[in-house]
Amino acid sequence: MDPMTFICVTQFVHGLAYGLLLFLVAAGLSMIFGMMDILNLAHAYIFMLAAYLGYTMTGLLNFWAALLLAPIGVALLGMLIERFMLRKIHPLGHIPELVLTIGIGLILLEFVKWIWGTQSLMLQPPEILSGLLSIGVFRYPVYRVFIIGFSIAVMILMGLLFYKTRFGTIVRAATADAGMVGALGINVPLVYTLFFGFGTWLAGLAGVVVAPFLSVFPGLADQIGFDAFVVVVLGGLGSMSGAFIAAILIGLLNSFGIQFLPTLAPLLTFGLMAVVLSIKPTGLLGERQ
Amino acid sequence: MIFKHRKVLYRVTFVLSVAAVFMLGPLGGTAPGADSSFDPAAMSDMSDFDPNNFQQPEGDTIKLGYLQIMSGAAAGNGELFWPVVTWVAHDINKRGGIMVDGKKKKIEILKGDTQGKPAAARKETERLCLEENVDLLWGTSGSHTAKAIADVAEEYKVPFLNCLSLSDELMNEKNFNRYTFRTLSNTTQWNMALSYYFSKRPETKFSILCQDYMYGHAMADAFKKYLNKYKPEAEIVSEDYHKLWLKDFAPYMTKIMAANPDILYTADWLPDGDNLINQARSMGVNLPIANIYITNPDTLASVGVEGTRNMIFCYSWMSGDTPQTKAQKKLMKEWHEQWKTWEAPYDSLLYIWPDFVVGQTISDTYWLFDVIQRTGTLDPEKIIKVWEDDVYKAIQGVRTMRAADHQAVFDMYVGEATYPTREVYEGAPYSEGYAGVHKVIKIPQKYCTPPVPEGLKDRVE
């Protein structure tokens, strides 16, 4: 294989891994924002909290236990937030939601600083996910391969949950016409709470998966939250497929941009967003603005 | 006759010696060729020092305004240097304080949160100057915020010790003010030292990866300039600038490996520095990484022995496993023994040794108070007079405060990481589970001293 082909293939895999990681972070945000119409700016902070919980639980137990327990923990927190805070505010529109979720985010930020301090924490992946995987001339970090596989598995799981289960049918119906679903005797507020909890569970999964990839520090939410928001808007509100495509596009633009257009690389994502939104204001696969 | 004169001479010498002992006071004596020295023997018993419970003195005190980032994502900066300023204050306070204006005064520390933003830094500095009436200012991370503090320091005529911001421009003709003194090496000093060091090594191919803003570009430009001067045969095979708080370094690593360098140079600070080394090593990129700020032992321990073995550090203070001076040895031991007793957040590996930036800022803070003691007053004009051209034998090496631009000049240090490291003192290994600085090379001042900015050359006679 000639060097340029080797570089292009490697950059493609980098882009795929990073894009899927972004998708994992953005998936819950896209669901909550797109389907429940809740502007949850605390999502990135819940993700950050999960990364910290993952760090501690890995130390106390192991990575796999952390991957199981930390998302459940933040999902419970998410359900409490929805039940006792957002539910009352939601009918008042986006501005109160915005203020409330920013406030929750700041409280979580202070909380993690209080518990874990302000310094960067590093977590190494478990032994089985460490090292390099060799395929022919390629040597690629096992943990990045895990991110690719895990993100795809989560996407498939979400697809099955929403389109092949009764819960998914109810959720889709409730987010489309809550009054009608309520009239059928279904406890819509409970569905909303569970759905919000599921969204924050996804943030929790992303947080634990990110912990061995990025250093865990109080700026983690800011570091990745904005990119997740771009993925949601670019993909189209509420569209999982759109978020997936947007995340992959951003990942690939990032890696190929760094290789071939290094000075423009940081601008390519925003350029793509500007082009897509000017042609299709609803985003790639979104149906509403 | 000769005998008689000799007797007089002895008496005069005795009287002068006694007078000198009284005049020198608790902070130290004077080394040959220096105006003053840090005296390790005078250091207090620090066994009761705890950064979580610093005892602020009451009454008539010397008020030090501690300006750092204390909120938001970068609040770690404010936390990091709190043990530094409180250590020095605790030590001096236990000795009874410093004689100023005919009275012994202890040091009180008042916090100011810069938030890492110039506007907030200005507001907090004004508050400390106007409401708290601080006598001295101490800070700060980020040249843009240091500039805001320096401006207020000039406005209210309060001496400002800048021991943390390194941009050359801060002390140039445009931004210089008489009240600000910089004790940290600037961009040029750093890169002159590192370039000189590489001129003695066989590697010739370098890749540069820095953060994409003024600091990252300034560091890279200085490195290229002085590498060209000290090692003309060197070649920059790749040069990239990444956005701040980058998530994925993999595309850059692939690009760098394709360029096949011998050394990777980076000036990244945290968290980028941490993520860079962690992701590079996880991808099998085992190049020696020459850097400034990837020194956090927590990060290094996480990366492990193999990942840290071939790192090259450059700093204005470096001890590694071999403290070079008596004062450094004492500080390393006293601090480390106390560290074992500290509680969160100061119980982490980050605080394990007073090395790199921690050691440097401790030393610089002692210098500030040594100047105050010798001045004998808090009158800023008199402090300036004493500090300009001051030659101070610090905990590590001699430091001279250039009168023209208030930039301290000194020897720099480059260290290579290895494993295992030695015990700093019996039973106290420098690093466990990661490679630490073992081989420290001194870069003499003449190879790493930048010229005085043209417009400031004639500022003082």
pLDDT digits (tens, 9 = 90+) for B311-364: 999 999 999 998 989 999 999 999 999 999 999 889 999 999 999 999 999 999
Identify the bridge partners of residue A135 per DSSP, sorted by sequence position. Answer: A138
Quote the DSSP letter at residue B60: S
Which residue of chain B comes nearest to A116, CA vs CA?
B345
- Least confident stretch, B6-15, B94-103, B214-223: B6-15
Question: B158 with B135: CB under 8 angstroms?
Answer: yes
- For residue B94, give how far its alpha carbon lies from the nearest alpha carbon of chain A (Å): 29
- For residue B250, give how far its alpha carbon lies from the nearest alpha carbon of chain A (Å): 6
**Tokens at residue B366, please?**
């002692």
How many beta-carbon pairs under 8 angstroms link A with B? Answer: 119
Residue B445 has pLDDT above 70, yes or no: yes
Decide if A118 and B79 are in contact by the 8 Å CB cutoff. Answer: yes
- The predicted pLDDT at position B94 comes to 96
Average pLDDT over residues A68-77: 97
Which residue of chain B comes nearest to A267, CA vs CA?
B243
Between residues B190 and B75, which one has the greater pLDDT?
Answer: B190
- The predicted pLDDT at position B378 comes to 97
- The predicted pLDDT at position B352 comes to 95
| Spans of all domains in chain A | 3-279
- For residue B79, give how far its alpha carbon lies from the nearest alpha carbon of chain A (Å): 8
Quote the DSSP letter at residue A126: P
In angstroms, rounded to a whole number, what is the distance separating the alpha carbons of residues B36 and B182? 18
- A chain contacts of residue B251, beta-carbon cutoff 8 Å: 11, 14-15, 254-256, 258-259
| CATH number for the domain whose boundaries are B40-185+358-410 | 3.40.50.2300
Topology at the third CATH level for domain A3-279? ABC transporter involved in vitamin B12 uptake, BtuC (1.10.3470)
The pLDDT tens digits for B70-112 are 987 788 889 999 999 999 999 999 999 999 999 999 999 999 9
Q: What proportion of chain A, given as a percentage, has pLDDT over 70?
A: 99
Residue B19 has pLDDT above 50, yes or no: no
Same topology, domains B40-185+358-410 and B188-315+413-447? Answer is yes
CA torsion A77-A82-A83-A85 (nearest 10°) is: 100
Instruction: Give the closest of A18, A109, A141 to B247, CB-based.
Output: A18
Give which of B249, B269, B282 to mutate to test A binding, by max A Cβ within 10 Å. B282
Question: B188 with B196: CB under 8 angstroms?
Answer: no
At residue B20 the predicted structure's pLDDT band, cuts being 50, 70 and 90, is very low
- Least confident stretch, A208-217, B9-18, B406-415: B9-18
- B chain contacts of residue A118, beta-carbon cutoff 8 Å: 74-76, 78-79, 345
- Residues recorded for chain B: 461
- Least confident stretch, A137-146, A169-178, B214-223: A169-178
At residue B12 the predicted structure's pLDDT band, cuts being 50, 70 and 90, is low
The pLDDT tens digits for A210-224 are 999 888 988 889 888
Q: What's the mean pLDDT when you consider all of chain B?
A: 91
**Tokens at residue B114, please?**
């810069």
| Spans of all domains in chain B | 40-185+358-410, 188-315+413-447
At residue B31 the predicted structure's pLDDT band, cuts being 50, 70 and 90, is low
- The predicted pLDDT at position B307 comes to 87
Residue A12 has pLDDT above 70, yes or no: yes
- The predicted pLDDT at position B13 comes to 52
Exposed / middle / buried, residue A1 (Cβ in 10 Å: 0-12, 13-18, 19+): exposed
Average pLDDT over residues B280-290: 93
Topology at the third CATH level for domain B188-315+413-447? Rossmann fold (3.40.50)
Give the ipTM of the model, two decimals please. 0.88
pTM for this predicted structure: 0.86
Between residues B12 and B248, which one has the greater pLDDT?
Answer: B248
Closest CA to B27 of B366, B305, B416: B366
**Tokens at residue A76, please?**
């419970």
- B chain contacts of residue A218, beta-carbon cutoff 8 Å: 72-73, 75-76
